[in-house]
Structure 1
Amino acid sequence: MTVPDTGSSLDPTIQHPTRLALVAFLSGCAEADFKTVRERLQISDSALSKTVAALETAEYVSVRKGYVGKRPRTWLALTFDGRRRLAAHLMALQSIADQARAQAQD
């Protein structure tokens, strides 16, 4: 039995489930407000803030702050490079799954 080649396309930045869930969610929209993302991922404000900070540093996510009326709001968006890197990561995961299925049939 051979071990599937993960290649260099798996990105360690988004291997954590919360980070992957966040970028996957953002890939389906132009941008989303902080509250919506927090509710969708079912995590605390502090956990989301830490996750966003890590992804912003890695240039996966852009953060835009502003106001709606007098209330502050934060919007999150996946960057172009973030979308490209997510697609490469998902292709690498699919390749691993395909190899595992093929080996299971042998």
Structure 2
Amino acid sequence: MPETELDPVIHAPARLRVVATLATLPTGDELSFPKLQKLLDMTAGNLSTHLRKLEDAGYVTVTKTHEGRTPATYLTLTARGRGAFEDYTTALNSLLKGAAG
């Protein structure tokens, strides 16, 4: 992908918010689905749809487990997702510098 081309998987506003939020976590740390949903003020269905696209791209890992008898879902940004987000921010900065110059 050319340096100034924005990754279409990340570029969708909702997915950009998801990736940017998960990128603030230290590598390997997870965030629960309900916590991410609350942070981003998204419906469960909308968040699930965007997470599926990110997971299909290999950017996010979704781990489903149980805490006692209650289902729990945890999310983490993969190394590939971190790299894609870094590339995205580099491309965006490059585009902004070009537009300003």
| TM-score, L = length of structure 2 | 0.90
- 1:89 and 2:68 equivalent? no
Distance 1:85 1:41 in 2: 20
Structure 1 match to 2:16: 20
**Greater Cα radius of gyration, structure 1 or 2:** 1
* TM-score, with structure 1 as normaliser: 0.86
Structure 1 residue runs without a partner (length 5+): none
Alignment of 1:1-106 (within 5 A): 7-8=4-5, 10-29=6-25, 30-102=29-101
Q: What is the deviation of 1:67? A: 1.5
| Equivalences, count | 97
| % identical equivalent positions | 35
Question: Which segments of structure 1 move beyond 4 Å, counting only runs of 4 or more?
Answer: none
Q: CA RMSD in A?
A: 1.4
Deviation, 1:69, is: 2.2
CA distance in 1, matches of 2:56, 2:43: 20
Secondary structure of the equivalent of 1:7? coil
Contact 1:6/1:96 (<8 A) preserved: no
**CA positional deviation for 1:6:** 6.4
Q: Is the 8 A contact 1:6 1:92 kept in 2?
A: yes
Structure 2 alignment gaps of length 5 or more: none
8 A contact 2:31–2:74 mirrored in 1 = yes
Query: What's the CA shift string for 1:51-103, capped at 9, x where partnerless?
Result: 1111100111001111222211000110000000110000000011112222x
